[in-house]
Amino acid sequence: MRIEIDPAGLDDTNKKVNSMAKAGKTLALMVVLAMVAIGAGLVIALWMGNHEAVAPVVLPDQVQIPQPPEIVPPAATFTNIHANGFAQQQRGRGWTNPVDPADSLPWDQRLDGILLRGGEASDKADAIRKLMTVAPAEAEVELSQHLINMVQDDRYDPAAELLTNATTPAAVATVLMNDLLNRRNNLKLPMLLAIARNDQHPLKDQAKDMLELFLQADYSTNWDQWGGAVDAWLQQNQ
């Protein structure tokens, strides 16, 4: 028995077989891609699980450096030496050492306070002498006149240190010299001798003239002779 094959039907069959083969290859490729995607997802998930999320570091705009505390020096007390040799204590001008209100007054108001307050005349003389160290130069003559009214023979030091000091202004020294001539002899003559032998003193010539007048002698610049003559005169005229 002879079987006849239709060529057209055979072609259709081959086409169907080829179509099915192509579909199978496409399905297999899709399966492989899906498995690759799943595998990649698992790897990423494992990596994320082993690494904690790190917060980004935010730097401040400016670092604030703490400043050390301010050190305030203590108020100091110091001593000034006035031109006439008098040591003047001054206060440090600090927060913990305020200025005495009386020290800020004009010199004439401070003088009024000294003259009007109670107390011994010698204490007032000491206060006036201290005031002269801070008062303006034009006030020194008036202050020296008040000083000689308060200073006593037995406490003559406030006036003596001014009168024998060569740096004392001549006008002030003249007020004191005129007053000295009215003091007792055992104060007057030694003071005149101290002034006369000081070559730098502005009143040395006047003092020597007064010595010559009292002693009725002239020993030139032999100050040892002058000293002996003063001692002898005082012993004879007590």
Half-sphere exposure (Cβ direction) of 184: Cα atoms closer than 13 Å: 10
Give the separation between CA 127 and CA 48, rounded to whole angstroms.
Answer: 93
Counting residues of the chain whose pLDDT is more than 90, the rounded percentage is 50
Q: Quote the pLDDT of residue 20.
A: 52
List the Cα angle 169/171/173 in 5-degree steps: 70
**pLDDT tens, position by position, 90-101:** 433 333 334 445
**Structure letter (DSSP) for residue 105:** S
**N- to C-terminal Cα distance for the chain?**
195
What is the CB neighbour count within 10 angstroms for residue 84?
17
User: Sorting pLDDT into bands at 50, 70 and 90, what band is 25?
Assistant: low
Q: What is the pLDDT of residue 67?
A: 54
Query: Six-digit token pair at 180?
Result: 């000295």
Dump pLDDT digits (tens) for 144-193. 999 999 999 999 998 999 999 999 999 999 999 999 999 999 999 999 99
pLDDT in tens, 53-63: 444 444 445 54
Domain boundaries, the chain: 102-183, 184-238
Q: What is the pLDDT of residue 33?
A: 53
pLDDT confidence tier of residue 118, bands split at 50, 70 and 90: confident
Residue 207 scores a pLDDT above 60: yes
Instruction: State the DSSP string of 163-196.
Output: HT-TTS-HHHHHHHHHHHTTS-HHHHHHHHHHHH
Report whether pLDDT(29) > 70: no
Rounded to whole angstroms, the Cα distance separating 68 from 174 reads 60
Count of other CB atoms within 10 angstroms of residue 69: 6
Residue 50 has pLDDT above 80, yes or no: no
90: alpha, beta or left, given left = phi > 0 and alpha = psi -120 to 50?
Answer: beta
Q: What's the CA gap between 177 and 206, in Å, rounded?
A: 9
**Per-residue pLDDT tens for 220-230?**
999 999 999 99
The chain-wide mean pLDDT, for the chain, equals: 73
Residue ranges of alpha helices (H) inside 86-184 are 107-116, 121-132, 140-150, 157-163, 170-180
Q: Is the pLDDT of residue 102 over 80?
A: no
Which pLDDT score, from 0 to 100, does residue 105 have? 85
Which residues lie closer than 8 Å to 130 by C-beta, 6 or more apart?
Answer: 86, 88
Q: What's the pLDDT score for residue 22? A: 54
**pLDDT the model gives residue 117:** 87
φ, ψ at 83 (rounded to 5°): -60, -30
- pLDDT of 23 over the 80 cut: no
